[in-house]
Amino acid sequence: MALFSNFYPTRYLDSAYDIAYEKLFCDGYRGIIFDVDNTLVEHGAPIDDRAQALFERLHELGYETCILSNNKEDRVKPLADAANSIYVSKAAKPNPKNYIKAMELMGTDADNTFFVGDQIFTDVWGANKAHIRSYLVKPIAKHEEIQIVLKRYLESVILYFYQRKH
């Protein structure tokens, strides 16, 4: 349905850890903006070894990274520090303003940056409004706050139409 196309991700995958980052680098991408909670780690959890290894690999490839989160700085800064990444907290996603700020901080632009997140109505919609490629991944944790659970039901409708189109 065309009505939902503003919410469609560029790609929909099982995990942020399944993305072909090497291929995207070869295709000219240089910046990655990540959501953190339920995208890289469970909601509220610290950066784990798997996430740290991913960021090390990405930086070795030559990527700039930025964690973009609606959480407060006291949640985001320790995660970003552990991942050796820049960050923007209290991002007000889906407002595209801080997606653009993230690209400015990384020295990238909409043509060579992509976004990775687990929610359609904040992460993907904001990336689409900022005109950058978006990767929607399935949430890591199965147990979520009630307001997120309600959004997931609405997301399932959009994903139904997305998957019929792709």
pLDDT at 163: 78
Q: List, in order, residues 6 or more apart from 5 with CB less than 8 Å away.
A: none
Residue 77 CB burial class (10 angstroms; 0-12, 13-18, ≥19): middle
CB 86 within 8 Å of CB 65: yes
Ranges in the chain, pLDDT < 70: 1-3, 142-150, 153, 166
* Cis upstream peptide for 139 (omega within 30°): no
CB 125 within 8 Å of CB 6: yes
Measure CA of the first residue to CA of the last residue in the chain; give whole Å: 12
CB 14 within 8 Å of CB 137: yes
pLDDT at 138: 93
User: Cβ of 72: how many Cβ atoms within 10 Å?
Assistant: 10
pLDDT at 147: 64
pLDDT tens, position by position, 123-137? 999 999 999 999 999
In whole angstroms, give the CA distance from residue 12 to residue 65. 20
Q: How many domains does the chain have?
A: 1
Give counts: helices (H), strands (E), the chain.
6, 6
pLDDT at 69: 97
pLDDT at 5: 81
Q: What is the CATH number of the domain that holds 81?
A: 3.40.50.1000
- Per the structure, the complete domain to which residue 47 belongs is given by 2-165
Q: pTM score, two decimals?
A: 0.91
Residue 162 CB burial class (10 angstroms; 0-12, 13-18, ≥19): buried
